[in-house]
Structure 1
Amino acid sequence: MISSYAGSDDAAVATAGARAGAEVVRALYGRRLDRIDKGAGDFATTADVEAERAILRVLRAARPDDAVLGEEGGRQGAADAARQWLVDPLCGTLNYAVGNMLVAVNVALRDGAAAVADPFSGEVFCTDGETAWLRRDGVDDAPLAPSPATRLVDVNLDPPFPSAPGFRAVDLLAHPEFAERFRPRVVSTTLALAWVAAGRRAAYVTDGGDLSGSVHFAAGIALCRAAGCVVTGIDGAPTGEAGRGLVVAADADTHGLLMSMMRGRS
């Protein structure tokens, strides 16, 4: 079955990879899994490793000449490969390990197609780099439509905090105008980025360095851009090598409000 993806477009390959990883994550959910210590309180599980292997099988069969950067396996493939896939097989490992289903499987071609799979809803959020859509149960496609209507803003509160003291995400939540305009959510997985693209969240905010090439964030950023969201760093500058963190909003008004609050706190 894997070989059938070989002639597919990149969006189909990304979708197939994300679905393959999601099947592993779903199958191993609730089991007692070995943990692999990464230091500083972080760890991977057997599900992370096996899901990445399943994704790699799809990518190798469909795109054997491409390189891959995996969260667990690191860089693989030719160093001079023209194309690179970014794979986060289980975003939300801490959630998953304690029986929380808020996780995502992220597969992205750098500067190209991407897919984010929710292993437990059966949804896959997909983009070919130009348009973005939601696939349910492998068959139904619906365009992703960002909207600020929910007023829900996901804020990543996980350390480290590289921009402190100038910017702390927790300070944004304490801003008086934030409470008037929005309601906070903290899901601890980049599935929240897909929710912004789909209109289920008004915005997402996280600190950090350049996240555009991160295995954790690349797929979600690609989805949001293709869906028409406003995507910048926490300083309002375009994401990239000089960027810091991420502010993704459903529309320009929401983005502007958040930026004014963040600048006010700093």
Structure 2
Amino acid sequence: MIEEDPLNLDHARNVAVEASEAAGALLREGLSAAVNVHAKGDAGDVVTDLDLAAEKVLLDRVLTEFPDHTVVAEESGTLGSAESRYSWLIDPLDGTNNLAIGLPAFVVGLALCEDGLPVVGVVHEPVTGHTWSAVRGGGTAGPSGPVAPPYRPPAHGPVLAWTQGYGVARDDPAARALKLTLETRARRVLQLWAPLLSWVMLARGDIHGIVGYRTETVDLHAGVLIAQEAGMTVRALDGGPFDGTAPAGEEGSSFVACHPAMLDELLRAAADAARVRAAFPSFAGL
């Protein structure tokens, strides 16, 4: 790995915010016309011409400003330097499946990582024009200033968001056990098809927690940092530390995220789901 001078993270955040808002303006304008949707892979994912156009805006701005950084983009793969300690994760349109069916629930996301650890995170919502951003150790900022919501205990069960990777099969027994356990304990379990939007909702205090199972990385780190800097905690399903990487032998990252006051409750749910899975080896067929 090459030696690099320390980066001005506030400058990097400003670049990411401006890039996300430029991409968001393009997406917002594109909604007025017919959207061309194409199949992507064998797991039901899709891509649109808007994804590709928004990604080009983001890549042009990030690589122009930081030509020596590594960039991992949702549609274009890995670009830039392969040896930099700084890497950008770019999701030009998180929630493409929503946009494809006319549901206005999608965002633009960028994360900057230093030696694999997210240090800048930005999520922009094109429909509202609102942006949330965070710098590690510097808190989270939203449209109206700092974001650090107080804890509000759920009166009738928590509202949770569920997210899983595209590689998770419909009959995955661990996923089914987790979802069933959450459904029996929560007032509502949201499946938004836009993980970064869920992270912003958690950071704002709109929902009480997120449970993720074998999730992808490109739409993870920006949201994790924004939530953490707003006072939320993220742990592995077994309660251990969570660094955004998958355990050896697993595909994707699994976690619970919530206000610290709710952590024990979510970890108990995850543990109960594991016991259900162990007690019923053929759970996927039930």
Residue matched to 2:131: 124
Runs of 4+ in 1 over 6 A off after TM superposition: none
What is the TM-score when the length of structure 1 is the normalising length? 0.85
Residue matched to 2:60: 57
1:101 aligns with 2:108: no
> Contact 1:66 / 1:85 at 8 angstroms: preserved in 2?
yes
Distance in 1 (CA, whole Å) between partners of 2:9 and 2:211 is 37
Within 5 Å, give how 1:233-248 maps onto structure 2: 233-240=236-243, 241-243=245-247, 244-248=253-257
1:189 aligns with 2:194: yes
> Contact 2:140 / 2:229 at 8 angstroms: preserved in 1?
no
> Contact 1:204 / 1:248 at 8 angstroms: preserved in 2?
yes
Aligned residues: 250
Distance in 1 (CA, whole Å) between partners of 2:239 and 2:31 is 39
Query: Any unmatched runs of 5+ in structure 2?
Result: 1-7, 248-252, 275-286
Query: Any unmatched runs of 5+ in structure 1?
Result: 1-5
Q: For each residue in 1:134-157, what CA deviation from the matched residue of structure 2 results, as whole angstroms up to 9, or x when unmatched? A: 332xxx423333634463211226
1:143 aligns with 2:147: yes
Residue matched to 2:213: 207
SS at structure 2 position matched to 1:31: coil
Q: For each residue in 1:164-205, what CA deviation from the matched residue of structure 2 results, as whole angstroms up to 9, or x when unmatched? A: 424433212343xx14xx432222212111111111111011
- Which letter does structure 2 place at the counterpart of 1:123? H
Q: For each residue in 1:46-93, what CA deviation from the matched residue of structure 2 results, as whole angstroms up to 9, or x when unmatched? A: 110011111112212322221210001110011112211000000000
Residue matched to 1:260: 268
Provide closer, same or farther for how the CA distance between residues 67 and 57 of structure 1 changes in structure 2, counting only shifts above 3 A. same
SS at structure 1 position matched to 2:262: helix
Distance in 2 (CA, whole Å) between partners of 1:49 and 1:261 is 39
Within 5 Å, give how 1:28-107 maps onto structure 2: 28-40=30-42, 41-107=44-110
> Contact 2:147 / 2:203 at 8 angstroms: preserved in 1?
no
SS at structure 1 position matched to 2:99: helix
- Which letter does structure 1 place at the counterpart of 2:269? M
SS at structure 1 position matched to 2:67: coil
Distance in 2 (CA, whole Å) between partners of 1:200 and 1:91 is 19
Alpha-carbon RMSD across the aligned residues, in angstroms, is 2.4
CA apart distance, 1:105: 0.7
1:161 aligns with 2:155: no
SS at structure 2 position matched to 1:208: strand
Between Structure 1 and Structure 2, whose CA radius of gyration is higher? 2
Within 5 Å, give how 1:13-24 maps onto structure 2: 13-24=15-26
Distance in 2 (CA, whole Å) between partners of 1:23 and 1:149 is 37
> Contact 2:9 / 2:135 at 8 angstroms: preserved in 1?
no
Residue matched to 2:179: 170
> Contact 1:132 / 1:226 at 8 angstroms: preserved in 2?
yes
1:249 aligns with 2:222: no
Residue matched to 1:219: 222
CA apart distance, 1:36: 3.2
> Contact 2:37 / 2:100 at 8 angstroms: preserved in 1?
no
Residue matched to 1:3: none
Residue matched to 1:26: 28
Distance in 1 (CA, whole Å) between partners of 2:14 and 2:142 is 11
Distance in 1 (CA, whole Å) between partners of 2:147 and 2:52 is 32
Distance in 2 (CA, whole Å) between partners of 1:115 and 1:121 is 15
> Contact 1:67 / 1:77 at 8 angstroms: preserved in 2?
yes
